[in-house]
Structure 1
């Protein structure tokens, strides 16, 4: 793994840790809200807004880069084993390049929304008027790091197709083994 990939991986791990904290916060808030709703008839009036506006966004967008780094996204690998290695690198380079463009556009839109929300101090219409710009900031950070990882992979697979050597890791082969245990058919 190159120094660039190691640096990206360190940032991806940090964002994944934040996503895990956000998920833990969601669970804690839901438990407290349910307990207060049924035990004291005093639900938390702000819980759904905080969960929907900040925490779910954090879980999703902060986990995306680490999921890509660990090849956790859905992949169609029907012909993966039959294609020549250089052609696989070309296909992966094109796919990652396309993903880079899409994520850069999403990040750019989030940047514009962040600036407008921050400058206007936009708030949601709720019991607690939460600021909206932190949610856009979370989207920006997650998509920026995902864009960097996609660009790294696009370039790495592109150069790998030209050199004939694996300069970036290939996706792992599909798991085709039959499951064991109580879920086995």
Structure 2
């Protein structure tokens, strides 16, 4: 089981690096667009499209890693006020979050297949198959759901994961 969890963590770390790289590319593209537009009077046709694509990738590629590290949004006022049932409440919350994420991932997977079968492309200057972008959404939801399951079952009473 540890090998599977390590492989899961390695895949998620790779996604985090991809998302961080996408964020860096957004900064570079915006800088290029500003220089191109205002210094040379030649705005690009593609910068806005790529920034949109890369923003989607950065959000959904990094979400699982942030969940793994506890960077997700958590409102813990009730568990904090009710220490005797704190762990049960947190576990329930993690399982509900996992269910929602996995359900959304399932819906997205169906949409990915539909987009692939129809050959649907983006309606942008630079056209790419939509399934490529929606695959990142599916990855983000499913992988985040898996981390919520891990948080529910492989946690210490303080909510941190065992190694």
TM-score (normalizing by structure 2)? 0.86
Shift of 1:95: 0.6
* Equivalent position of 1:177 in the other structure: none
Alignment pair present for 1:48 and 2:48: yes
Residue number in structure 2 paired with 1:109 = 107
Q: Any idea what the Cα deviations from partners look like across 1:104-162, whole Å, max 9, x if unmatched? A: 121112111111111122112232223211111111112221111112223x1xxxxxx
Q: Which runs of 5+ in 1 are unaligned?
A: 157-166, 173-185
Q: Distance in 2 between matches of 1:89 and 1:3?
A: 27
The residue that corresponds to 1:99 in the other structure is 97
Give SS of 1:71's match. Answer: coil
Matched with 2:66 is 67
1:168 aligns with 2:151: no
What is the CA–CA distance in structure 2 between the aligned matches of 1:127 and 1:69, rounded to whole Å?
A: 36
Q: CA shift at 1:171, angstroms?
A: 3.0
Q: Secondary structure at the match of 1:90?
A: helix
Q: Pick the aligned partner of 1:151 from 134, 149, 152.
A: 149
Please state whether the residue corresponding to 1:80 is helix, strand or coil: helix
Instruction: Specify every segment of 5 or more residues in structure 2 that has no aligned partner in the other structure, as ranges.
Output: none
- Cα distance in 2 between the residues matched to 1:92 and 1:148: 16
Q: Is the 8 A contact 1:8 1:149 kept in 2?
A: no
SS in 1 for 2:155: coil
- How many equivalent pairs are there? 158
TM (norm. structure 1) is 0.77
RMSD: 2.1
Partner of 1:36: 36
Greater share of helix? 2
